[in-house]
A and B are shown apart, each in its own frame.
Chain A
Amino acid sequence: SYVLTQPPSVSVAPGQTATITCGGNNIGSKSVHWYQHKPGQAPILVIRYDTDRPSGIPDRFSGSNSGKVATLTVSRLEPGDEADFYCQVWDSNTHLWVFGGGTKLTVL
Chain B
Amino acid sequence: EVQLVESGGGLVKPGGSLRLSCATSGFNFATHSMNWVRQAPGKGLEWVSSSSWNTDDKYYADSVRGRFTISRDNANNSLYLQMNSLRGDDTALYFCARSDSGGSHRAFDVWGQGTMVTVSS
Contact = CB atoms under 8 A, between A and B. Distances in A.
Contacts of A33: 107-108
Interface in A32-55: 33, 35, 37, 41-45, 48-49, 54
Interface in B45-97: 45-47, 50, 59, 61-62, 95, 97
A45 to B, nearest CB: 5
Interface residues of A, number: 26
Contacts, number: 60
B107 A48 contact: yes
A30 B88 CA distance: 33
B74 to A, nearest CB: 22
B109 A99 contact: no
Contacts of A43: 37, 45, 95, 97, 108, 111
Interface size on B, as a range, is: 20 to 34
B59 A45 contact: no
B113 interface: yes
Contact of A42 (B35, B47, B62, B113): B113
A54 B99 CA distance: 13
B47 A45 contact: no
A99 B111 contact: no
Contacts of A95: 59
Interface string B11-41: 0000000000000000000000001010000
Interface of B: 35, 37, 44-47, 50, 59, 61-62, 95, 97, 100, 105, 107-114
Interface of A: 1, 31, 33, 35, 37, 41-45, 48-49, 54, 84, 86, 88, 90, 92, 95-102
